[in-house]
A = this chain, B = another copy of it.
Amino acid sequence: MSLCAEATLPDHPFIAEMIRQTRAFDSYGVNAQLNTTELLQPYIVTKAQRREIPIIGDPDEEILARLKAYYSAIAMRIEAGCGMMATPLFSLSHEGFGRVIISVGKLLVLDRSLRDVHRFGFESMESLCEQAETLVDKALELVRAHPDAATA
* Chain A residues proximal to chain B, CB less than 8 Å: 89-91, 99, 101, 103, 105-109, 111, 142, 145-146, 148-149, 152
Whether A152 and B148, one on each chain, are in contact in the complex, defined by CB atoms closer than 8 angstroms, is: no
Whether A149 and B106, one on each chain, are in contact in the complex, defined by CB atoms closer than 8 angstroms, is: yes
Whether A111 and B106, one on each chain, are in contact in the complex, defined by CB atoms closer than 8 angstroms, is: yes
Instruction: Select which of B99, B103, B142, B148 is within 8 A of A108 by beta carbon.
Output: B103
Minimum Cβ distance to chain B for residue A60 (Å):
16
- Report copies per complex: 2
What does DSSP make chain A's interface, helix, strand, loop or mixed?
strand
Give Cα distance in the complex from A97 to B1, angstroms: 42
Listed by A's residue number, 7 A-B pairs whose Cβ atoms lie within 8 Å are: A91-B91, A101-B101, A101-B103, A105-B108, A107-B108, A145-B148, A146-B152
